[in-house]
Amino acid sequence: MRLQMLRLVGLLALALVVVYSSVAALYNFYSAAPNEYTISAAQLAEALERGDAPIAQSYSFDAIHFSKELIERLDAGEVVGLDTGANQILFYHRNGNAILQIGPFPHQPAESVTQWRLLFIGAMLVVLALLTWPMFRDLNQLQNQAIRFSQKPFNIPEPFSRRSTIFPLAETFRRMANIVTGHFQMNQDLARTIAHEIRMPLARIKFQQALVPSDSDSAKVIDRATRDIEQLVEKYLNFARVEVHEQFLTRKRVSLETLFSELASHMEVQCPQLEIAYYFPDSEAWLEPDSLTIALQNLVVNASKYARDRVDVRFDVEDEYCVLAVEDNGPGLGGDALELTDAFTRSATDDQGYGLGLYIVKKVMMWHEGELRLDQSPHLGGTRAILRWPNRR
């Protein structure tokens, strides 16, 4: 914001210099006639007191040679002042065939007005800076608030005085931010309430299920329904955490060996029917491990719905960017692939999902300042989901 202020002040300074110079040039052009000289009463008194030479002498008009322009002015009855070149002025006045010479008088060249112009322009710049600085200070404060709000929503107080030039803008932003924060808080409370209310009866169902034989058809149906509901609760809690920015994401250097070892152990339990291969360099990368693990789990679970038997997870670093790809050997993308990253949007062939997996992945990439892309897998022929984000703090 300071850079914007300096640009504005510089632009105003340039405009001020141009306007001032133009006005001064026009004034000098129209107000001052060429070769005009004047003397003050003090100079005249000084010349009279000196008395070493006559102050006025009369000559024949033909004795002094003048230019045509000066002769015309003398014929018109004007008093013409000429600079002798030695910082002295002689005045001439025609009287018939005679010409009266008055002087010489000391001539002091006009003082340069450049310093006064610079002083005036400098003073105007100081005034402009004093007038614009409060506005830019308040804008900088509002910008910092907007940045912090984008990282984690919070209720914004009323920090600006009503006399501030940006008070209407700041007040509108404050009200909007507080409304958004209220909606986020309500969403978070609703998610926690739903999760709590669902988990309690689920625990009772699982307790009762443990008391009946597990090989019956009814027990298998109850077991599958219970697992589906637990998965829905987990998905919705992840969705709520992503939506309200429950904690601000901070990237750090993470060992890829550690990240994928933990992911492999978890996915082995969650997707035992899949052959999952992991390809990654023996190095570290900048990422937020918790949110990225959630994103990876969602991608692998989503791929398991369509894959025949295999999913590959590949991690590379290209041109200071981290590139993570999850691909399967399923039938490939459908026509609604781009729409699947919206919340609560499911594929037409998906009768098991809840439309939150890819949306959560997209949110995690937004936190990483990255992007999510879907295309065809060049290795397995199915769908490939690509995560790409800057490899920096």
- Give, in order, the Cα–Cα distances in Å from 263 to each of 266, 280, 300, 303, 386: 5, 13, 10, 15, 17
Please give the residue that has the higher pLDDT: either 53 or 302: 302
170 CB-near residues (< 8 Å, 6+ apart): 138, 142, 159, 160, 164
Residues 1-15, mean pLDDT to the nearest whole number: 69
Q: Is the pLDDT of residue 272 over 60?
A: yes
| Tens digits of residue pLDDT in 51-80 | 656 677 787 877 777 778 878 877 888 888
Residue ranges, comma separated, of all CATH 1.10.287.130 domains in the chain are 171-244
With respect to CATH, is domain 41-106 assigned 3.40.1840? yes
CATH number for the domain whose boundaries are 171-244: 1.10.287.130
Find which of 157-161, 182-186, 326-330 is predicted with most confidence, using mean pLDDT.
326-330
Residue ranges, comma separated, of all CATH 3.30.565.10 domains in the chain are 252-390
Strand (E) or helix (H) holding 387: strand 383-390
Residue ranges, comma separated, of all CATH 3.40.1840 domains in the chain are 41-106
| Distance in angstroms (rounded) separating the CA atoms of residues 44 and 40 | 6
Q: Is the pLDDT of residue 90 over 50?
A: yes
CATH number for the domain whose boundaries are 252-390: 3.30.565.10
Distance of CA 102 to the CA centre of its chain: 72
Q: What pLDDT does residue 307 have? A: 87
Q: What pLDDT does residue 351 have? A: 47
Q: What pLDDT does residue 152 have? A: 73
Distance of CA 185 to the CA centre of its chain: 28
- Which residue stretches of 339-379 are H helix? 357-367
Among 17-26, 42-51, 121-130, 138-147, the least confident range: 42-51
pTM, two decimal places: 0.48
